[in-house]
A and B are shown apart, each in its own frame.
Chain A
Amino acid sequence: MINLTEEKLKSYLMSKAMQPLSIDESMETKPNLSFQEGNGYKVFVKVPSREELQDRNAILSLILNSTTFRKTADKVYLALPKIYASIIDGAIIQGQGFGLITYDEKTIEEVIAPKIFEHQTSSNPQENLAIEQLVSRISQLEQTVQTLKSEISQLKSIRPTFNDAAKPQKIERAPESLPSFFRDNAWLDILSKRGKEPERYVS
């Protein structure tokens, strides 16, 4: 029974573009399902069985046990049968930053959206050193970009002007509101010229 519920929850979360992950067998307290979202967030789902849900205290103990997931997951959901969800105070779940999914035989619904857990930075001195080095390299790069920007704007101010006929054809660029995978994608230029230039390597 519990497996059928997990399968339904899995289909539901996969329809939200989450990809299933295997569960680390070495974990002391394991979630029932684990996923990765498109943006890289790791999502755990705890699905208690009917035996684990005998009274209100059992649910509270479940919530307390699930707090350990915050160390490894970015988001945590508890999945409860609709009938049980109605007897607990959602504020407790919300307060812990967990999300709540309720289900019955026909429907699955996200009732409370989970918070994103921020993980502590590493205590490993070597990793911290590497991070510091990266930060310093990024700030150097930022300085270089600033210098280049000011040089470009100087060059723009002294460039010669051309008449309209000599201007290159306008290329469709991705507006800001488009998805991130449009950014710097070389195909945008190529595809926008389809039908306007000779075709090669077509068989």
Chain B
Amino acid sequence: MSEYRGRYTFGMDYGTSDYKYGPITCKENPMIIENRGYFPDKESVMFRAFEKPKDVIVGQELPLYLQASEDLSTRLIYPMKNGVIEKNDERAWQVVSEISRYGLNAFKPKEKDFEGFYIVASVSSVSPKYMYEKLFEIYRQIDEEERLVKAVTIIPQPFAVAIGHGITTCVVIESGHGNSQLCPLSKYPIRNAVLAIDRGGGDANALTAEILKDLGYGDLAQQETFLRKVKETVGLIPVGLEEAVEAAKKNPDKFKAKFKVPGTRIVVDFEENSWMRFLIGEYVFDPNHQMFQSYFTRGMRKPKDVKIGDTIFRGMMDFGEAIVQSVERCPLELQPHLYREIVLSGGNFSWNVPEKLEGISTDSMTKIRLLLKEKGITNVKVTMTKSPQLSVWHGCIIYGFAVPDEYAWNWERMEGWLKLHD
């Protein structure tokens, strides 16, 4: 059986913006497409004249089908944009079904011994039980129609990160575009200690937009891709916000921040307001400082505690407090071990630290250590995953290869194989 799964284990990582998929034979790198689907206007004359009508389009060809930009908000669906799909959101489920089918068909083997893939799918740790049920239903339908799935299991993304990273007792913090999730593990995910935060890279982009408006670049502050680039180029994490702002105000030349818009003559120059670059990094880790208040007052969305599905996403909780709250829900004797292995994963933890600003600006790992130190937790080790974008898929592949065939799916422990056919 190991030999069979050594060829036909299939990993699927349903990320908030990307879908990574492929069998174990992809070795290190799976295929990646955007986790989205487009519902074309089937009444369009062009569409009817040239194409066979299709309900939803996914994959690399999708950009070729895009129609008027004003339609995009209703026709272009990112099903996992906040990690949870509402039970009755039919369009989102249709995209998930199509994208799963697309991934499997891309690697459909011709070998005679092929009896279906062993699929390990990975979803957000805050995904409610009905999402697991819906996904199983989708795989069952694909298997009935195309005989592509022999067995399937679903694991939470932080669990897959820990497996891909090779650490068996740790706290994983996965911070993506839409939100962040914390999950302690000790050989198993500790599900009642999972904590979700309604803050991700998108919120830092929103703050960047407000800052650009204040600097007179309001016309540019509309496009998400542009905001992300400014944030990545200019944004810094301060060791201490007040000290960093004071230092930058005293010596703006040392902290100057400029961003040239590629392919244009436009240069965004922060000039004497270069201290604002520290606000962008701080906001991701801790949005509670008084300095952010004026942005909320002027209408920027203040992160709130929100209920999505059955999960409460915390809005303003800083990452240090979130780790402490999550770890304190675990057995007492385990807690010191968890603090000693904190693993960061996801694009929201990648920040520049200019050499000349070391000591004033810092990286994500140090920032987390400092936030925990403020709470009296000192014996801490924080690491980044080796390949932030792919570690979930790596974890899926290892899980699918190693877990015994006879370990059947169980709704109590939410693990094991669900066999779809013999």
A residues with a Cβ closer than 8 A to B are: 2-3, 7-8, 11-12, 14-17, 19, 22-23, 25, 32, 37-39, 105-106, 172, 174-175, 177-182, 184-188, 190-192, 194-196, 199-203
Beta-carbon contact of A11 and B34 below 8 Å = yes
B60 CB to closest chain A CB (Å) equals 6
Give residues of chain B (361-400) contacting chain A, Cβ–Cβ below 8 Å: 387, 389-390, 394-395, 397-399
| Bitwise interface map of B from 327 to 338 toward A, beta carbon under 8 Å scored 1, else 0 | 000110010000
Residue numbers in B under 8 Å from A202 (CB-CB): 188, 191, 412-413
Instruction: Give the CA-CA distance A192 to B387 in the complex, in Å.
Output: 24
Residue numbers in B under 8 Å from A15 (CB-CB): 31-33, 60
Instruction: Give the CA-CA distance A201 to B389 in the complex, in Å.
Output: 28
Interface: B299 (CB within 8 A): no
**Interface size grouping (class) on chain B:** 35 or more
B residues with a Cβ closer than 8 A to A are: 2, 6, 18, 24, 27-34, 60, 63-64, 162-164, 166-168, 186-188, 190-193, 229, 232-233, 260, 262-263, 330-331, 334, 387, 389-390, 394-395, 397-399, 401-404, 406-408, 412-413, 415-416
Query: With A3-B263, A39-B28, A179-B28 known to touch, is A8 a contact of B63 (CB < 8 Å)?
Result: yes
Interface residue from B233, B403, B412 paired with A194 (Cβ < 8 Å): B403
Beta-carbon contact of A177 and B398 below 8 Å = no
Residue numbers in B under 8 Å from A181 (CB-CB): 28, 164, 166, 394, 397-398
Interface class of chain B by DSSP = mixed
Interface residue from B6, B331, B407 paired with A177 (Cβ < 8 Å): B6
Instruction: Give the CA-CA distance A173 to B350 in the complex, in Å.
Output: 34
Beta-carbon contact of A180 and B398 below 8 Å = no
Beta-carbon contact of B188 and A199 below 8 Å = yes
Beta-carbon contact of A11 and B188 below 8 Å = no
Beta-carbon contact of B63 and A187 below 8 Å = no
Instruction: Give the CA-CA distance A39 to B386 in the complex, in Å.
Output: 11
B205 CB to closest chain A CB (Å) equals 15
Beta-carbon contact of B186 and A195 below 8 Å = no
List the A residue with the shortest CB-CB distance to B191: A203
Instruction: Give the CA-CA distance A199 to B415 in the complex, in Å.
Output: 12
List the A residue with the shortest CB-CB distance to B30: A17
Query: With A38-B387, A190-B168, A201-B187 known to touch, is A12 a contact of B398 (CB < 8 Å)?
Result: no
B341 CB to closest chain A CB (Å) equals 12
Residue numbers in A under 8 Å from B31 (CB-CB): 15-17
Interface residue from B229, B397, B403, B413 paired with A199 (Cβ < 8 Å): B413
Beta-carbon contact of A179 and B27 below 8 Å = yes
Query: With A172-B2, A188-B398, A194-B415 known to touch, is A11 a contact of B63 (CB < 8 Å)?
Result: yes
Residue numbers in A under 8 Å from B27 (CB-CB): 179-180
List the B residue with the shortest CB-CB distance to A23: B262
Q: Give the most central of A12, A179, A182, A196: most B CB within 10 Å.
A: A179
25 A-B pairs in the complex with CB atoms less than 8 angstroms apart: A3-B263, A11-B60, A22-B229, A22-B233, A25-B260, A38-B390, A172-B401, A172-B402, A175-B6, A178-B401, A179-B28, A179-B397, A182-B398, A182-B401, A185-B166, A187-B166, A187-B402, A192-B403, A194-B404, A195-B406, A199-B413, A200-B187, A200-B188, A201-B186, A202-B412
